[in-house]
Amino acid sequence: MLVRIKSLAGQSIIYGLGGILPKIIGFLLIPLYTQFLSPADYGILAFTASLGAVLSILYELGIAGAVTRFYYDFLEKPGEMRAYLATIWVFLTGFAFLFSLFLTWQGDAIFSLLFKETPFYPYGLYIVWLSFSATADVIPLMLFRVREQAKLYVIYSVSRFLVSTVAIVYFVASLQRGAVGSLQGQLLANLIFFIPFTLVTLRNAMPVIRRGYLNATLRFSLPLVPHQLSGWALSISDRILLERYVSLDQLGLYSLGYRLAMVLDLVLTSINMAWAPFFYRTASTEEDAPRTFARIVTYFTVLMLVLSLPVALLSKDVLIIMADPEYLEAYQVVPVVVLAFIAHGFYYMLVNQLFYAKKTRNLPIYTLIAATLNIVLNLLTLEQFGIMAAAWNTVIGYSVLTIMVYFESTKVYPVPYEFRRILIALLAFGITYLVSNQVNLINPVLDIIARSLAMLTFPVLLLALRFFNLQEIQGMKSLPARLRKRLSVQRTG
C-alpha cells in the first residue's frame, strides 16, 4: 500500500505544483490588483468569471469526460484513436465557433433580460470569445492526464497562466483599463496558446471524420452536462445572484475572500486529479482495495484539515499586509468558504466509487438537488444577509451533496471508512480553530506568528485523543533514524 500511496502522492504533488504556482503569483499580485481595480471592477471580473464557467460547460458538452473514457477503448488501436480525436476536435471547434457567433448576435438581448448591472458590451462579448478560445485545450490537456504526462500538463498550464498574467498586468497597470483590461489580457493569452494546443491535437489526429464516433461520444457526454451545470450552480452561481442583490463592491469583497479560500480547493483538486486514476487502477488490481481507500481517506482528512487551519485563520492578517484597506472585510467569508471546501474534499473521495462501478445515473439528480437547494437559499437570504449568506449556503449545498453521494457510493462499492478517526480529526480541528481564533494581536506579523503557534494544538489533540494507531506511532518514532540512514546512503553513494 505504501508504494501505491507514494505514486498517488507523486502525481498529486506535480499537479499541485502546477496549480499552486499560478495561485502564488496571483496571490502576490493582490496588492497590484487592489490598487488598480476598484471593488466594483473586482466584482465585475468575478461575475464574468462565473459566467465564463457556465459557458465552458455549454461549449464543451461534457466531451472532455467522454474523451477520457473512450481513450482507453483505443489503447491497442492507434489508427482508430487518431480518427476518433480528429472527429471530436472538428465537432468541438465547429460547434464552439457557431455558438460564439450566435451569442455575439443575441448577447445584448440575453444580458439585458437576465442581468442587472453588467452590460454585454464589452464584458459579455469578451467572455464569449474567451470561452471559444479555451476549447483548444480540451483534447491536449486530456491527453496529458490519461497518459500520466503530468509534467507536460503543468508546463502548458503554467506557461499560459504566466503569459496571461503579464498581459493582464500590462493592460490593467500600464494602460489602466480596469476590468476590461483584465479580460483583454486573458483573451490575448488564450489566442496565443490556441496555436500550440491545436498543434498538439492535430499531431495526435488524422484527417478522418467518423460519425459513429461522434454519436457514441455525445451519448456518453450529453448526460454529463446537467451534472456539470448543477455543479456550476452549486459552486459559482452565488456570484451571479449576488450581482442582483448586493452592490458590485460587496460582490468584489466576496470574490476576493472566496479567492483566498480557494488555496485549499487548489490542493484538493490536485489530489483529486491523481486520485481518480489511482482509484481505478487499485480497485481493478488489488483484492483489499477498499481497506486501502479507507486508510487513505483518513490521511487525506488530516492533510485537508491541516491545510484548512492557516487559510481560515490567517486571511485577515494577509489582507492587512497585502491588500488595500477597502478590501479588508473580505476576510469574514474565508473561514465559512473553507468549511464548504472541506465538504467538497470529502465529495472528491467518495464520488469515484460511483464512476468505478459505472453507477452514475443518480449523480446528476444529487447535484441538481444540492444546487437547487443552494439557489433557493440564496434567493431567500441574499437580500437580507448579503455575502455571508452566500458563504453559508455554499457550505449547506456541498454538505448535502456529499451526504447523498456517500449513501449512494456505499451501496455500489462499500469502503470501511475509519469514522472514529475521522471524527476525532474533525473535533481536534474545531477546537484548534476556536483556540487559535482567540489570538488577536494588533500587529499582523506578530498575529500570524502567534496564531501559527496556536495551530500546534491540532497535532497535540490528535495524540491526546488517540487518533494514531500503534503502527503509526512507531513509524513516527523511527522516522528520524530512517531519514539519517537515507542521508548516509546518499553521501556514501
Based on the domain organization, do 106 and 149 belong to the same domain?
yes
For residue 188, what are the CA distances in angstroms to 30, 167, 243, 316?
21, 7, 27, 34
452 has a pLDDT exceeding 70: yes
Tell me the residue range of the domain where 150 lies.
Answer: 62-221
* Residue-level pLDDT at 229: 82
Helices 78-114 and 125-134 meet at what angle, rounded to 10? 170
Location of C-alpha cell 461520444: 217
Based on the domain organization, do 305 and 387 belong to the same domain?
yes
In a domain, 52, yes or no: no
Location of C-alpha cell 506579523: 445
91 has a pLDDT exceeding 60: yes
> Which of 119, 259, 257 shows the shortest CA–CA distance to 180?
119
The rounded distance, in Å, linking the Cα atoms of 262 and 251 is: 16
* Residue-level pLDDT at 2: 52
Report H helices in 29-77.
30-36, 39-60, 63-71
In a domain, 123, yes or no: yes
* Residue-level pLDDT at 488: 61
Based on the domain organization, do 255 and 279 belong to the same domain?
yes
In a domain, 354, yes or no: yes
122: preceding bond cis by omega (within 30 degrees): yes
74 has a pLDDT exceeding 70: yes
The rounded distance, in Å, linking the Cα atoms of 367 and 371 is: 6
User: Given phi > 0 = left and psi -120 to 50 = alpha, else beta, which region is 62?
Assistant: left
> Rg of the chain over CA atoms, in angstroms?
23
In a domain, 465, yes or no: no
The rounded distance, in Å, linking the Cα atoms of 53 and 444 is: 35
* Residue-level pLDDT at 313: 93
90 has a pLDDT exceeding 60: yes
From 417, 435, 467, the end of a domain falls on 417
Based on the domain organization, do 144 and 98 belong to the same domain?
yes
Residue 448 cell numbers, joined? 500570524
The more confident residue out of 294 and 11 is 294
In a domain, 7, yes or no: yes
* Residue-level pLDDT at 274: 73
From 382, 417, 452, the end of a domain falls on 417
407 has a pLDDT exceeding 70: yes
Domain count, the chain: 2
In a domain, 481, yes or no: no
* Residue-level pLDDT at 20: 54
The more confident residue out of 189 and 283 is 189
Mean pLDDT value of segment 231-235: 78
Based on the domain organization, do 262 and 404 belong to the same domain?
yes
Based on the domain organization, do 201 and 127 belong to the same domain?
yes
* Residue-level pLDDT at 484: 64
Based on the domain organization, do 255 and 285 belong to the same domain?
yes
Based on the domain organization, do 172 and 153 belong to the same domain?
yes
Based on the domain organization, do 308 and 408 belong to the same domain?
yes
In a domain, 44, yes or no: no
Q: Is 177 helix (H, G, I), strand (E, B) or coil?
A: coil
* Residue-level pLDDT at 5: 53
Q: Is 137 helix (H, G, I), strand (E, B) or coil?
A: helix
Q: How many Cβ atoms from other residues are within 10 Å of residue 277's Cβ? A: 17
420 has a pLDDT exceeding 90: yes
Residue 402 cell numbers, joined? 456529499
Tens-place pLDDT, residues 140-191 = 888 887 776 777 877 887 788 889 889 988 998 888 888 899 899 989 999 9
Residue 105 cell numbers, joined? 448576435
Based on the domain organization, do 176 and 269 belong to the same domain?
no
The more confident residue out of 396 and 474 is 396
For the chain, the farthest-separated pair of C-alpha atoms sits apart, in whole angstroms, at 73
Question: What stretch of H or E contains 25?
Answer: helix 2-28
* Residue-level pLDDT at 352: 85
* Residue-level pLDDT at 25: 57
* Residue-level pLDDT at 404: 95
Q: What is the mean pLDDT of the chain?
A: 84
Q: How does residue 23 score in pLDDT terms, banded at 50, 70 and 90?
A: low
333 has a pLDDT exceeding 60: yes
The more confident residue out of 337 and 325 is 337
* Residue-level pLDDT at 118: 77
Mean pLDDT value of segment 255-282: 80
Based on the domain organization, do 297 and 372 belong to the same domain?
yes
Q: How many Cβ atoms from other residues are within 10 Å of residue 175's Cβ? A: 12
Q: How does residue 199 score in pLDDT terms, banded at 50, 70 and 90?
A: very high
The rounded distance, in Å, linking the Cα atoms of 110 and 118 is: 12
Indicate the range of 69-78, 93-102, 172-181, 310-319 predicted with least confidence: 69-78
User: Given phi > 0 = left and psi -120 to 50 = alpha, else beta, which region is 414?
Assistant: beta
Q: How does residue 356 score in pLDDT terms, banded at 50, 70 and 90?
A: confident
Mean pLDDT value of segment 318-327: 82
From 221, 249, 284, the end of a domain falls on 221
Mean pLDDT value of segment 347-375: 85
Q: How many Cβ atoms from other residues are within 10 Å of residue 214's Cβ? A: 17
> Which of 150, 144, 216, 110 shows the shortest CA–CA distance to 18?
150
Location of C-alpha cell 444540492: 370
Tens-place pLDDT, residues 31-63 = 667 778 777 787 788 778 878 888 988 998 888
447 has a pLDDT exceeding 60: yes
* Residue-level pLDDT at 29: 63
* Residue-level pLDDT at 6: 54
* Residue-level pLDDT at 487: 57
Location of C-alpha cell 479567492: 259
* Residue-level pLDDT at 491: 55
Strands (E) across 86-175 are located at none
Mean pLDDT value of segment 90-109: 93
> Which of 319, 55, 41 shows the shortest CA–CA distance to 171?
41
* Residue-level pLDDT at 218: 86
Side chain identity, residue 380: L
The rounded distance, in Å, linking the Cα atoms of 338 and 137 is: 29
In a domain, 158, yes or no: yes
Based on the domain organization, do 202 and 268 belong to the same domain?
no
